[in-house]
């Protein structure tokens, strides 16, 4: 071999970057698209931005960043909306006789990493977490809890024992550290995980690396350190801007910590992309409180906002204390109102409501979460985490002991992904369920190609009354909303093109359709799997 | 298969010579001697009874009787004791109320279907006919009957096979409504009636008062009454001697060609159609050819025997005996109850038969899950093989799809039918509001019987000139202090008083003519609640009367739901319409759009409610990409929707239909 492997990769990257930039200059590809949505360039699938592993890679990213600042920083005035990568099923648009077969899976380019540690369990939480308790080390993490390092060791073993799906090195484009409270984990351990992932799968030129952080668990130095090891997106779990509500939720922090955390995040150099997480419909939450939380959020100017509607889960403290819809929880009308308020206020402040519970400034969609909504594969590592590889969804054990045993088996090679491939209708359901969560909606052409014209038409006629009532919006290929009467017309005329109509997309309206998404999606399920 | 065939051949070898030997010489044989030498009186139990043994019982040695009573007065328990006493079943073995075989019967503790059992009994008590120790043995056919008014058809059918009846009366409760009804059924059939005052072990038993009631109501001599406790066994030994003594033997002639009454039929998975018959004249043997008077079809007798108490092959049935016969009949439709079966190629006078069943209540029966029509169809066909008293025709509803219009004897009968469909055939059903058969007369003088309100056009092109509704004569027995409220209730239900008497110092008897529609759903419950449970109630059908009837539609978002239409008296429409609309509002879940619920007569809306649109049903994000739980949730929701019935765009939960049944009657 004439050059080392990393040199070879480097050369490829350069060539591809040049090509991509040329395309961008010629107006073929928008620069923001190139960076924020590399998969936007459908026809140019082969352009994959590769960054060699190791320090060379980091250097390259840094170089690129300084060389092409506009690419990284300038959001464009009218960028195209988020468009999912073409579905993996394209090539097997085979006759319906082949129904039941599953598309050749794409290799994952996303990884979720679960860091389960929390100081204590919040009253609404039913995630697999490990509560460190009050005896745990200080939030700034000088003396770290040995359980964390032990766990990260286990995690690294899992990464090492995992086989990459593709051999020709499809690198990771997104990594998400979720929890738990990942910000409790010392940055060097986060770096260790990142290194392991990089070594195993490779990282793209500018991967999105998100981490969830809770107020009161980090200081400026810690955040800087995290950014230094590659983290470039923070999801700040604020949840509420009222002392009483924070306490009632069992949060381990107060309002002062919230303000401090917002200050640290906004003041951190090299970190442009951060999300504020809020919860609506908390017990005793009033309209005024919610208004206040929204205002404070907007004032903090995050690039992204996640608004979760409180869900009362069995087995949680809230589950024992409250019944959904019953005081002190808001009733259905009030809680619908909270949702609408968020949609209105955040939209007015320039945020796009791009998914049921997600808002962002233009170009700042959470790429990692888009992976889920676009039904694309992803790796997952750690306690209780769920992966989607080779068409198979798998959830790891939720208990530490069992998880450790499982990792052992993985290493011993005595565990393998069951090769039960999911059925066609399951895939269709996943596709509908996930895409209808997004503002982009369901792409009828590709759905039709994958699952047949008849099913697509049945779905459309099921949605027809809701198009009329405004819960569902039909759009043409240019994403222009169609008038309900046009939708009728299109559906009635059988002898039109592939899907029989100009209707190219279907999405749920904001906020009314989103608010009833469960109803609408389960109706669609009834069509797919009667 | 081969084994079974071999067994059958072996059995034939054993039985045939006996049958052949005994049959021609039947009248020559001395029954007493043969019996004592061949089989002891204790031979019953599971043992096969041979045809030659049956031959020992000429009509003079046969008694056929029914046990009749008001609900729960102890018929089935008394039957148990008599079966034990004769060794037909073993004491302490099997369940109490042995003859209540259906799961419904066991669960509800009531008898629904009449059951026959043959017993052999040697009379050891001195009677006028036989003396001393060497008393002859008798063949007794006992028929246990249901007490509930809905099943009085079963009683009258059973009585046709009998010459006498035990009229059981609870010593504490005394004569009740069905006691009266059943007494008259037996009396009109010219049966000998033996009054049995049962449950005398109860602390509140007052047999003397019961005797007085019997005297007053039925002119029964108090000395005729037997006092028993089916629980302790007290007084039981007098029962069968009284049966032998007081009930005449069956009247038929042994020398005529065989002629028998078809009492009942049911379908058995393995054996095919099994007919219960009472042989009136002649004898029937295995291999004989018999014909149906109704259809003219001829069949070969494959198997014949008695119920002892289970099917016991004998190869033959003689004059006056009651038993079963299995022929090549393929479906119970060929086995018409009340039909006369007779020797093929002979011309016989058909037996009187029974008056046809009259269906009082009609209701649509639909698969709860729309796709299960075939399964339901199959289940109904099977079940009606065993319950010929249900009438079934196919119908279609826009709301519920394909289903059946079924005619029932009453609401309990309907309930039992549904329960049996579910328990015995696993069919889940939705039933529409029960209705009675109305008659509508039009300007052109045509008359139509309407069993399904939906079939009646809401805005009739043809002018309705008159409507007729069926009525019943209701008999109500109550402690006298409740007379006031009961009269109130009856007049609210548009009743017309026919009789008001006292049967003893404390109890009154009321007779009313009441529109059937007014009593079918909740009348009895209401009656019980205003009389602290003391009232008893019975009715018999009576003629149609002219009435001011209207069809009431239920509309959801302006669209009529055919399965919810009712025909109702004009004066009650407003009230019932309101109740139906309120009930629906409560049971229809909010949907993604507003729903208006209306009750209308023609184009006039008489009640209206609005159900506001659902506002929110949304899930937080798929955390960490774990979509499986959320997907399960949505799939569950999908399944929930599937169980609902859709009218237009409105999903109606099945409970809504069930709930409507409860209000459908005017209060
Ligand atoms: N104390 C007492 N209870 C009795 C006696 N005979 C029957 N019972 C009880 O009365 C209840 C009704 O008895 P059944 O034999 O089922 O009555 P039935 O007349 O067959 O009832 P239906 O077939 O439903 O009309 C049961 O709980 C019996 O145990 C008796 O002589 N004394
Ligand atoms: Mg009984």
**Cβ atoms A387, B626 nearer than 8 A:** no
A277 strand-pairing partners: A237, A306
DSSP track, A399-461: SHHHHHHHHHHHHHT-------PPPHHHHHHHHHHHHTTBSS-EEHHHHHHHH-HHHHHHHHH
Last residue of a domain, one of B547, B578, B605: B547
pLDDT tens by residue, B478-494: 999 999 999 999 999 99
- Secondary element (H or E) of residue B145: none
Which chain A residue lies closest to B591 (C-alpha atoms)?
Answer: A519
Residues A67 and A127 in one domain: no
d(CA B366, CA B226): 49
A454 in contact with B, Cβ within 8 Å: no
For residue A282, tell me if it sits in a domain.
yes
B294-306 pLDDT tens trace? 888 999 999 999 9
Question: How far apart (Å, rounded) are the C-alpha atoms in residues A361 and A358?
Answer: 11
Report yes or no on B36 lying in a domain. Answer: no
Nearest CA to ligand 1 atom 8: B74
* DSSP per-residue string spanning B349-392: PPP---PPP---EEEEEEESSGGGHHHHHHHHHHHHHH-TTSEE
Quickly tell me which residue has 């014209």 as its tokens: A453
Q: Which pLDDT does position A419 carry in this prediction?
A: 55
Mean of the per-residue pLDDT values for chain A? Answer: 80
| Residue B63 DSSP one-character state | E
Lowest mean per-residue pLDDT among A137-151, A383-397, B490-504? A137-151
In a shared domain, residues B578 and B603: yes
Domain count, chain A: 3
A111, A340, A383, A525: best mutation site toward chain B, by most B Cβ within 10 Å? A525
Number of C-alpha atoms within 13 angstroms, CB side, residue B180?
Answer: 21
Using only the alpha carbons of chain B, give its radius of gyration: 28
Beta bridge partners of B559: B556
In this prediction, residue A105 has a pLDDT band, given cuts at 50, 70 and 90, of low
Report which of B489, B535, B472, B499 is spatially closest to residue B71, judged by C-alpha positions: B535
Q: Domain for residue B496, yes or no?
A: yes
Residue B230: CB within 6 Å of ligand 1? Answer: yes
Please report whether residue A84 resides in a domain: no
Q: How far apart are CA A462 and CA A457, in angstroms?
A: 8
Contact of B637 with chain A, judged by CB distance below 8 Å, is answered with yes
> pLDDT value at position A266?
95
Per-residue pLDDT, averaged over A122-151, amounts to 76
pLDDT at position A140 is 52
- The span from the CA of B585 to the CA of B594, in Å, is 12
How confident is the model at residue B16, as a pLDDT? 31
Confidence label for A493 from pLDDT (cuts 50, 70 and 90): low
- With a cut of 50, say whether residue B286 has pLDDT above it: yes
A269 within domain boundaries: yes
Residue-level pLDDT at A391: 82
Best substitution site from B181, B230, B536 to test ligand 1's pocket, by max atoms within 8 Å of Cβ?
A: B230
Residue B43 lies in a domain: no
Q: How far apart are the first and last CA of chain A?
A: 58
User: Please, which pLDDT band fits residue A166 given cuts at 50, 70 and 90?
Assistant: confident
Ligand at minimal distance from the CA of B115 is 2
- pLDDT higher than threshold 80 for residue B459: no
- C-alpha B398/C-alpha A135 separation (Å) is 67
Report which DSSP code applies to A296: H
Please name which of B274, B374, B406 lies closest in space to residue B331, comparing C-alpha atoms: B274
What percent of chain B is modeled with pLDDT above 70? Answer: 88
* Residue B4 included in any domain: no
Interface of A with B in 37-66 (CB under 8 A): none
**Cα–Cα distance for residue pair B167/B75, rounded to 1 Å:** 9
pLDDT above 90: percentage of residues in chain B: 47
CA of B258 to the centre of ligand 1 (A): 38
At B649 the pLDDT is 77
Statement to judge: residues A191 and A333 lie in one domain: yes
Interface test with A, best of B624, B640, B646 (most A CBs within 10 A): B624
pLDDT value of position B284: 94
Based on the domain organization, do A60 and A110 belong to the same domain?
no
Residue-wise pLDDT tens digits, B214-260: 999 999 999 999 999 999 999 999 999 999 999 999 998 999 999 99
Residue B631 contacts A, CB cutoff 8 Å: yes
Atom from ligand 1 closest to the CA of residue B80: 15
pLDDT (0 to 100) of residue B370: 61
Residues in chain B: 667
**Maximum Cα–Cα distance across chain A:** 72
User: What separation in Å is there between the alpha carbon of B76 and the centre of ligand 1?
Assistant: 7
- Rounded distance between C-alpha atoms, residue B458 and residue B467, angstroms: 14
Higher pLDDT, A23 or B75: B75
Instruction: Give the range of the structural domain holding residue A443, as residue numbers without chain letter.
Output: 424-528
Tell me the C-alpha distance between A92 and A82, whole Å.
24
Per-residue DSSP letter, B48: P
Annotated binding site of B for GTP: 69-76, 144-148, 198-201
In a domain? residue B28 = no
Average pLDDT over residues A37-62: 40
Q: State the residue for tokens 């069968």.
A: B240
Indicate if the pLDDT at residue B12 is higher than 80.
no
In the predicted model, is pLDDT for residue B528 greater than 70? yes
Predicted confidence at residue B260, as pLDDT, reads 94
Q: Is B322 in the pocket of ligand 1 (CB under 6 A)?
A: no
Same domain membership, residue A447 and residue A304: no
Is the per-residue pLDDT at A232 higher than 60?
A: yes
Q: What is the residue range of B488's domain?
A: 439-547
Record the tokens describing residue A167, joined without a space: 């051999």
Q: Which residues pair with B601 in a beta bridge?
A: B552, B604
Q: Is the pLDDT of residue A64 over 60?
A: no
- pLDDT for B469: 94
Domain final position from B547, B567, B582: B547
Distance from C-alpha of A515 to C-alpha of A470, rounded to nearest angstrom: 12
- Nearest Cα residue to A368 out of A122, A75, A111: A111
Shared domain check, A245 and A298: yes
CA distance B145 to B78: 12
Q: Taking residues A430-439, report their average pLDDT.
A: 93
List of chain B residues whose C-beta atoms are within 8 Å of the C-beta of residue A521: 634
Question: From ligand 1's centre to the CA of B75, what distance in Å?
Answer: 6
Asked, for residue B335, whether it belongs to a domain, the answer is yes
Which residues lie closer than 8 Å to A19 by C-beta, 6 or more apart? A47
Tally the C-alpha atoms within 13 A of residue B410's C-alpha that lie toward its C-beta: 21
User: How distant is the Cα of B628 from the closest Cα of chain A, in angstroms?
Assistant: 8
CB contact under 8 Å between B620 and A308, yes or no, is yes
Q: Which helix (H) or strand (E) holds A44?
A: none
E strand or H helix that includes residue A159 = helix A146-161
Same domain for A149 and A22:
no
| Placement of tokens 């798929």 in the chain | B622
The answer to the question of residue A459 being in a domain is: yes
B19 or A324, higher pLDDT: A324
Tell me the β-bridge partners of B496. B513
B172 within ligand 1 shell (Cβ under 6 A): no
Whose CA is closest to B574, among B596, B602, B552, B595? B552
Measured between CA atoms, how close is A67 to chain B, in angstroms? 34
Retrieve residue B437's tokens.
């058969």
- In whole angstroms, give the CA distance from residue A353 to residue B25: 101
Task: Examine the domain organization and report whether B101 and B191 are in the same domain.
Answer: yes
For B312, the 3-state DSSP assignment is strand
User: Where residue B426 sits, what CATH number does that domain have?
Assistant: 3.30.70.870
Asked if residues B425 and B379 have their Cβ atoms less than 8 Å apart, the reply is yes
Predicted pLDDT of residue B461: 63
How many domains would you assign to chain B? 5
Please report whether residue A348 resides in a domain. Answer: yes
Q: Is B646 on the interface with A (CB under 8 A)?
A: no
- SS3 letters across B285-300: ECCCEEEECCCCCEEE
Indicate whether A153 and A67 sit together in one domain: no
> Which residues make beta-bridge pairs with B117?
B142
Please compute the mean of the pLDDT values over residues A381-396 and round it to a whole number. Answer: 90
Instruction: Ligand 1, residue B77: give the atom nearest the CA.
Output: 15
Closest CB to B620 among A309, A434, A530: A309
Q: Is B10 exposed, middle or buried (0-12, 13-18, 19+ CB in 10 A)?
A: exposed
DSSP assignment of B151-211, as one string?
GHHHHHHHHTT-SEEEEEEETTT-S-HHHHHHHHHHHHTT-EEEEEEE-TTSTT--HHHHH
Tokens read off for A463:
């949605």
Which residue's C-alpha comes closest to atom 11 of ligand 1? B72
pLDDT of residue A118: 92
d(CA B493, CA B497): 11
Distance CA(B379)–CA(A260), nearest Å, equals 71
**CATH no. for residue A199?**
3.20.20.70
Q: How far is the centre of ligand 1, averaged over its atoms, from the C-alpha of B267 (Å)?
A: 29
Tell me: do B559 and B468 sit in the same domain: no
- Domain presence at residue A376: no
Quote the crossing angle between the two packed helices A146-161 and A400-412, to the nearest 10°: 30
| B30 assigned to some structural domain | no
Q: Is residue A266 part of a domain?
A: yes
Any domain includes A288: yes
Least confident range from A144-153, A239-248, B120-129, B425-434: namely: B120-129
Q: Do B163 and B211 lie in a common domain? A: yes
d(CA B258, CA B316): 11
DSSP assignments along A338-392, one per residue: HHHHHHHHHHHTT-EEEETTEEESTT---HHHHHHHTT--BEEESTT-EEEETTE
SS3 for B497?
strand
pLDDT surpasses 70 at A320: yes
CA-nearest residue for atom 32, ligand 1, is: B199
Tell me, yes or no, whether B77 and B160 share the same domain: yes
User: Residue B599, SS3?
Assistant: strand
In a 3-state reduction of DSSP, which class is residue A393? Answer: strand
Please check whether residues A436 and A480 belong to one and the same domain. Answer: yes
The C-alpha atoms of residue A489 and residue B132 are separated, in whole angstroms, by 99
d(CA A217, CA A235): 13
Handedness of CA A178, A182, A187, A193 (dihedral sign): negative
Give a yes or no: residue B22 inside a domain: no
pTM, whole model, 2 decimals? 0.69
Q: Both B406 and B468 in a single domain?
A: no
Last residue of a domain, which of B431, B461, B490?
A: B431
Q: Which member of B616, B618, B624 has the closest CB to residue A114?
A: B624
Pairing status of strand B192-198 against strand B226-227: parallel
When mean pLDDT is compared across A448-457, B48-57, B200-209, B282-291, the lowest value belongs to: B48-57
Give dist(CA B176, CA B168) in Å, integer. 11
Strands (DSSP E) contained in B483-635 are: 496-502, 507-515, 536-546, 549-556, 559-560, 566-569, 595-601, 604-611
Asked if pLDDT for residue B315 goes beyond 60, the answer is yes
């Amino acid at each position: 071999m004439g050059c080392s492997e990393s040199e070879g990769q480097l050369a490829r990257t350069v060539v591809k970057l040049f090509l991509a930039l040329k395309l961008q200059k010629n107006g073929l590809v928008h620069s923001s698209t190139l960076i924020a949505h590399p998969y936007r360039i459908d026809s140019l699938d082969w352009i994959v931005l590769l960054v060699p592993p190791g320090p060379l890679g980091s250097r390259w990213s840094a170089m690129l960043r300084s060389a092409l600042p506009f690419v990284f920083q300038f959001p464009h005035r009218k960028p195209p909306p988020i468009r999912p990568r073409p579905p993996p099923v394209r090539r097997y648009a085979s006759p319906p006789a082949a129904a039941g077969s599953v598309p050749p899976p794409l290799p994952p380019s996303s990884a979720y990493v679960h860091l389960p540690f929390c100081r204590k369990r919040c009253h609404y939480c039913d995630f697999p977490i490990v509560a460190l308790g009050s005896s745990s080390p200080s939030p700034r993490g000088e003396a770290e809890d040995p359980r964390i390092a032990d766990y990260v060791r286990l995690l690294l073993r899992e990464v090492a024992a995992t086989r990459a799906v593709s051999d020709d090195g499809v690198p990771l484009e997104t990594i998400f550290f979720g929890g738990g409270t990942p910000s409790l984990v010392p940055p060097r351990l986060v770096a260790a995980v990142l290194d392991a992932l990089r070594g195993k799968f490779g990282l793209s030129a500018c991967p999105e690396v998100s981490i969830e952080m809770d107020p009161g668990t980090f200081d400026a130095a810690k955040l800087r350190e995290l950014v230094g090891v590659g983290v470039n997106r923070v999801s700040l779990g604020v949840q509420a801007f009222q002392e009483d509500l924070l306490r009632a939720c069992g949060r381990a922090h107060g309002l002062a910590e919230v303000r401090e955390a917002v200050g640290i995040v906004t003041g951190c150099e090299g970190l442009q992309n951060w999300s504020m997480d809020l919860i609506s419909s908390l017990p005793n939450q009033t309209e005024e409180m919610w208004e206040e939380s929204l205002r404070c959020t907007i004032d903090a100017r995050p690039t992204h906002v996640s608004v979760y509607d409180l869900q009362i889960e069995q087995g949680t403290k809230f589950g024992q204390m409250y019944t959904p819809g019953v005081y002190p929880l808001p009733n259905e009308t009030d809680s619908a109102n909270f949702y609408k308020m968020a949609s209105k206020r955040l939209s007015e402040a320039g945020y796009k409501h791009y998914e049921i519970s997600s808002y962002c400034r233009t170009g700042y969609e959470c790429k990692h979460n888009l992976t889920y909504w676009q039904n694309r594969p992803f790796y997952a590592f750690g306690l209780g985490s769920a992966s989607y590889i080779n068409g198979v969804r798998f959830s790891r054990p939720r208990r530490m002991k069992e998880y450790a045993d499982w990792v052992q088996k993985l290493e011993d090679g005595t565990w393998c992904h069951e090769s039960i491939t999911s059925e066609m209708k399951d895939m269709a359901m996943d596709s509908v369920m996930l895409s209808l969560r997004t503002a982009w909606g369901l792409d009828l052409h590709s759905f039709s190609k994958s699952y047949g014209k008849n099913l697509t038409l049945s779905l459309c006629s099921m949605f027809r009354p809701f198009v009329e009532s405004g819960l569902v919006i039909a759009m043409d290929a240019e994403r222009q909303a169609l008038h309900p009467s046009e939708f009728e017309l299109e559906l009635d005329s059988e002898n039109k093109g592939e899907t029989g109509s100009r209707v190219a997309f279907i999405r749920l309206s904001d906020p009314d359709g989103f608010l009833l998404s469960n109803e609408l999606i389960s109706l669609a399920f009834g069509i797919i799997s009667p | 298969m081969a084994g079974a065939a071999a067994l059958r051949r072996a059995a034939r070898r054993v039985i045939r010579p006996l049958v052949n030997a005994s049959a021609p010489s039947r009248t020559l044989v001395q029954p007493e001697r043969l019996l004592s030498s061949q089989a002891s009186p204790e031979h019953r139990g599971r043992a096969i009874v041979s045809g030659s043994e049956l031959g020992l019982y000429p009509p003079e040695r046969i008694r056929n009787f029914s046990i009749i009573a008001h609900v729960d007065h102890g018929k089935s328990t008394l039957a148990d004791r008599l079966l034990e006493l004769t060794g037909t079943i073993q004491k302490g073995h099997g369940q109490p109320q042995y003859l209540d075989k259906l799961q419904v019967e066991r669960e509800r503790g009531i008898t629904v279907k009449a059951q026959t059992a043959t017993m052999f009994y040697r009379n050891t008590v001195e009677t006028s006919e036989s003396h001393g120790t060497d008393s002859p043995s008798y063949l007794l056919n006992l028929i246990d009957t249901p007490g509930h008014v809905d099943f009085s058809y079963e009683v009258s059918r059973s009585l046709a096979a009998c010459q006498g009846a035990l009229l059981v009366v609870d010593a504490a409760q005394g004569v009740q409504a069905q006691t009266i009804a059943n007494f008259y059924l037996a009396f009109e059939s010219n049966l000998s009636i033996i009054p049995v005052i049962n449950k005398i072990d109860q602390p509140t038993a007052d047999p003397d008062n019961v005797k007085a009631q019997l005297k007053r109501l039925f002119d029964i001599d108090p000395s005729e009454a037997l006092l028993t406790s089916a629980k302790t066994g007290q007084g039981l030994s007098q029962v069968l001697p009284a049966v032998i003594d007081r009930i005449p033997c069956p009247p038929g002639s042994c020398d005529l060609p065989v002629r028998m009454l078809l009492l009942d039929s049911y379908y058995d998975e393995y054996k095919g159609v099994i007919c219960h018959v009472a042989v009136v004249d002649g004898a029937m043997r295995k291999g004989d050819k018999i014909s149906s008077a109704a259809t003219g079809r001829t069949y070969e007798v494959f198997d014949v025997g008695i119920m002892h108490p289970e099917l016991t092959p004998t190869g033959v049935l003689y004059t006056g005996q009651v038993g079963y016969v299995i022929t090549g009949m393929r479906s119970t439709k060929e086995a018409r109850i009340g039909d006369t079966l007779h020797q093929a190629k002979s011309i016989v006078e058909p037996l009187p038969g029974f008056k046809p069943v009259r269906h009082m209540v009609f209701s649509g029966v639909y698969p709860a899950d729309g796709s299960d029509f075939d399964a339901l169809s199959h289940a109904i066909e099977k079940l009606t093989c065993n319950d010929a008293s249900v009438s079934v025709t196919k119908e279609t509803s826009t709301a519920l799809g394909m289903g059946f219009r079924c005619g029932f004897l009453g609401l309990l009968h309907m309930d039992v039918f549904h329960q049996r469909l579910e328990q015995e055939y696993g069919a889940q059903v939705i039933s529409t509001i029960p209705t009675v058969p109305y008659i509508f007369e039009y300007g052109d003088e045509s008359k139509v019987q309407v069993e399904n309100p939906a079939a009646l056009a809401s805005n009739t092109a043809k002018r309705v000139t008159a409507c007729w509704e069926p009525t019943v004569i209701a008999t109500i027995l109550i402690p006298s202090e409740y007379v006031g409220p009961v009269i109130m209730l009856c007049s609210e239900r548009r009743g017309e008083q026919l009789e008001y008497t006292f049967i003893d110092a404390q109890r009154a008897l009321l007779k009313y003519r009441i529109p059937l529609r007014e009593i079918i759903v909740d009348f009895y419950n209401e009656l019980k609640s205003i009389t602290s449970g003391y009232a008893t109630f019975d009715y018999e059908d009576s003629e149609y009367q002219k009435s001011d009837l209207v069809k009431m539609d239920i509309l959801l978002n302006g669209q009529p739901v055919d399965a919810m239409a009712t025909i109702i008296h004009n004066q009650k429409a407003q009230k019932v319409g309101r109740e139906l609309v309120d009930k629906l509002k409560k049971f229809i879940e909010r949907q993604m759009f507003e729903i208006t619920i209306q009750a209308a007569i023609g184009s006039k809306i008489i009640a209206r409610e609005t159900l506001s649109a659902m506002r929110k049903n949304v899930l937080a994000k798929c955390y960490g990409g774990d979509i499986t739980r959320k997907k399960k949730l949505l799939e569950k929701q999908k399944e929930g929707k599937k169980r609902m019935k859709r009218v237009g765009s409105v999903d109606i939960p099945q409970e809504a239909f069930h709930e409507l049944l409860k209000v459908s009657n005017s209060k």
